[in-house]
Structures are given as structure tokens and as C-alpha cells.
Amino acid sequence: MMLAALIALIVSMCLLLIRALMGPTLYDRVLAVNSFGTKTVLLIGLMGFVMGRSDFLDIAILYTLINFVSTIAVLKFFRYRSFQVPLARRGESRAEAPVTGGEPNA
């Protein structure tokens, strides 16, 4: 039972890896990484269940947080081509934010 669940997770990880390798666009790859992080979280949770260590769930939660933050960072990078742009700026609507390329602060 456990083995079946673990194997299923590994198979889905392989599929995501293929998507990350072949992915024609960047967004395919970002999505693959994000889903891969989710699969890792699930795998750690399941391993904790198999090994009888319920404290693995805390680690799984930390992985979820890291996965979320790094996905936001990568997507922000793709949107602005820079990390130097705050996500929310006072006194400026989002429509005015630069969409592609260039120096956002210039």
C-alpha cells in the first residue's frame, strides 16, 4: 500500500522532470518546479508515515514555504527581469509597472 503510493509519487516526479527538461517555454519549467516541490512535500510526509516519524510533517511544511517563496521570486524575475522592483509600490498603479525588459527604475 505504502509502496504503491511512494512509487506513484516517484512516477509523477519523473513525469514532471520530463516536463522540466523538455518544457518549450519558461513557464512550463516554472510550473514543473513548483509541482515538483509539492511532490517532494508529499513524499516527505509519506516517508514520515512509513518510518513512524510524525515530526517529518513540520519539515514538509517548511518545504512548502520555501517552495512558495522561491516560485514567487522566480515569477517576479520573469515579470520584471529584475529583483530590484518591490512587489507593491505606493502611489503607483500596477498597470504602470514595466512589463518587459529595460531598466524598471530608469
Partner 1 sequence: MSSEVMGEASLSIIGVLLLCLLFVMGVAIARLRNLFAIVILSGIYSLVCAAWYILVDAVDVGFTEAAVGAGMSTVVLLGAILLTSRTAKPERRLARLGPFAVCVAAGALLIYATADLPAVGDAGSPANAGVGLTYLKINWADTGVPNVVTSVLASYRGFDTLGETVVVFIAGLAVVLLLGFGERALGETLRKRKKEDETP
Using CB under 8 A, list all residues that contact partner 1: 2-3, 6-7, 10, 13-14, 17, 20-21, 23, 26, 29-30, 32-33, 36-37, 40, 43-44, 47, 50-51, 53, 56, 59, 62-63, 66-67, 69-70, 73-74, 77, 81-86, 89, 105
Residue 2 grid cell: 505504502
Evaluate whether 87 touches 104 at the Cβ level (below 8 Å).
no
CB of 99 to partner 1, least distance (A): 17
Q: Which residues, other chains included, contact 34 with Cβ-Cβ below 8 Å and sequence gap of 6+?
A: 67, 71
Spatial neighbors of 51 by CB under 8 A, at least 6 apart, are: none
Q: Give me the least distance between CB of 100 and partner 1, in Å please.
A: 14
Nearest residue (CB) to partner 1, 82 versus 98: 82
Report how far residue 83's alpha carbon sits from residue 13's, in angstroms, rounded to the nearest whole number: 29
Q: Give the shortest CB-36-to-partner 1 separation in angstroms.
A: 5
